[in-house]
Chains A and B, each alone.
Chain A
Amino acid sequence: MKHEWKSGLVAGIPIFLGYLSVSFGIGILASNAGLSVAEAVILSAANLTSAGQVAGIGIIAAGGSLLEIIATQFVINLRYALMALSLSQKAAPSLTTPKRLMLSYGITDEIFALCSAREKDVTAGYMGGIIIISAAGWILGTFLGAAAGSILPEAVTDAMGIMLYGMFVAIFLPAAKRDRRVCVVVLAAALLSCLFHYVIRSVSGGFSVIICALAAAFLGALLFPIPEEDPENDQKEEV
């Protein structure tokens, strides 16, 4: 069992480094949006999700409603349900319900990718090790970003506000390049989003993301239903 923890901790080192830099951007974003360092750290420790946290920070800063934040998190993070479902089948028989309740906290895109790439069964120690080192990077990076946000010159923090969006581009653009179906739904989502932003201005940001994302994904599911094999292999590059 000890060995499993160790291999999980080692396997998670690349995620630790990646999370450290990405969550630095989250910390800056939170700080620019008026959250305190403590609030930013609690946000990252409690949520462990990039896109959801960015959307959440935006809604908090814009004074959005609780319903808006619930609906936004639900749609943005719904993909975790699919990953959880898939991991659930790969989990070792030793994963009892209490262990599952704890490990659920750490189902992110990268952790999911590592766990599903493992040839052996996923044990609580292995997954737990990955989650601990990954979450440490996520929380530490947020702390550094939020603290630096008030120390660094405005020119630097301003420029760093684009980092998270750059990361999102790095996820959807290569996927759209490789897969024409993804290209179509991504373009549809972007166009709809611009429409809501510049023309129909009465819908708030969080709801606009939900409507655009769902409408574009519906379009994709209608026009290009994916083949019968397991979609999990195509989900691994998400954050």
Chain B
Amino acid sequence: MSRAILYIITMAVVTYLIRMLPFTLMRKKIKSRFFRSLMYYIPYTVLAAMTIPAIFRSTGSLPAALAGTAAAFLTGWLDLPLIAVALAAAGAAFAAGFIV
């Protein structure tokens, strides 16, 4: 078994358990306000921490990445759908890759 497959299976087991245990075992609501607040903010903080600064190195060059980031923030700010924002970012990075 390759190292990648071992890692992939490990990820899958962890992710499945996170979904399965509450779905099959727990049928009551979470009471703790602090815990519920934490769970509310975690998706956003995870995405922000994963995106910044990694987005600046996500394409071939820094200028292309900056152009893509700017496009993503602009279209995201305008509440465009996820796919539109993703495509705008890629399009801007692609175009900037030729200009710079």
Binding site for B on A (CB under 8 A): 18, 21-22, 25, 35-36, 39, 42-43, 46-49, 51-56, 58-60, 66, 69-70, 73-82, 84-85, 87-89, 97, 100-101, 103-105, 107, 109, 154-156, 158-177, 181-182, 185-190, 192-194, 197-198, 205, 208-209, 212-214, 216-218, 220-222, 224-226, 228, 230-231, 234-235, 238-239
Within 8 A of A (CB), among B47-100: 47-55, 58-60, 64-65, 68-69, 71-73, 75-77, 79-91, 93-94, 97-98
Binding site for A on B (CB under 8 A): 2-12, 14-16, 18-24, 26-27, 29-30, 33-55, 58-60, 64-65, 68-69, 71-73, 75-77, 79-91, 93-94, 97-98
Question: Does A80 lie within 8 Å of B45, measured CB to CB?
Answer: no
Question: Does A159 lie within 8 Å of B90, measured CB to CB?
Answer: yes
Question: Does B38 lie within 8 Å of A221, measured CB to CB?
Answer: yes
Question: Does A162 lie within 8 Å of B19, measured CB to CB?
Answer: no
Indicate the member of B14, B23, B47, B53 with the most A CB atoms within 10 Å.
B47
Q: A198 to B45, alpha carbons, bound, how many Å?
A: 19
**Contacts A161-B59, A162-B58, A216-B48 known; A87 to B23 CB distance under 8 Å?**
yes
**Contacts A156-B94, A159-B91 known; A235 to B40 CB distance under 8 Å?**
yes
Question: Does B89 lie within 8 Å of A166, measured CB to CB?
Answer: yes
7 further contact pairs, Cβ within 8 A, besides A56-B11, A73-B18? A82-B39, A166-B86, A169-B51, A171-B82, A185-B41, A189-B45, A222-B34
Question: Does A97 lie within 8 Å of B73, measured CB to CB?
Answer: no
Question: Does B46 lie within 8 Å of A76, measured CB to CB?
Answer: yes
Residue of B7, B82, B90 touching A160 (CB-CB under 8 A): B90
Question: Does B50 lie within 8 Å of A55, measured CB to CB?
Answer: yes
Q: Which residues of A contact B94 (CB under 8 A)?
A: 155-156, 158-159
Chain B binding surface, main DSSP class: helix
Question: Does A84 lie within 8 Å of B49, measured CB to CB?
Answer: no
Q: A43 to B8, alpha carbons, bound, how many Å?
A: 6
CB distance from B25 to the nearest CB of A (A): 9
Q: A51 to B52, alpha carbons, bound, how many Å?
A: 14
Q: Which residues of A contact B47 (CB under 8 A)?
A: 51, 168, 171-172
Q: Which residues of B contact A56 (CB under 8 A)?
A: 7-8, 11
Q: Which residues of A contact B40 (CB under 8 A)?
A: 220-221, 226, 231, 234-235
Q: A80 to B14, alpha carbons, bound, how many Å?
A: 11
Q: A36 to B24, alpha carbons, bound, how many Å?
A: 34
Question: Does A85 lie within 8 Å of B22, measured CB to CB?
Answer: yes
**Contacts A47-B12, A170-B76 known; A21 to B86 CB distance under 8 Å?**
yes
Q: A143 to B90, alpha carbons, bound, how many Å?
A: 19
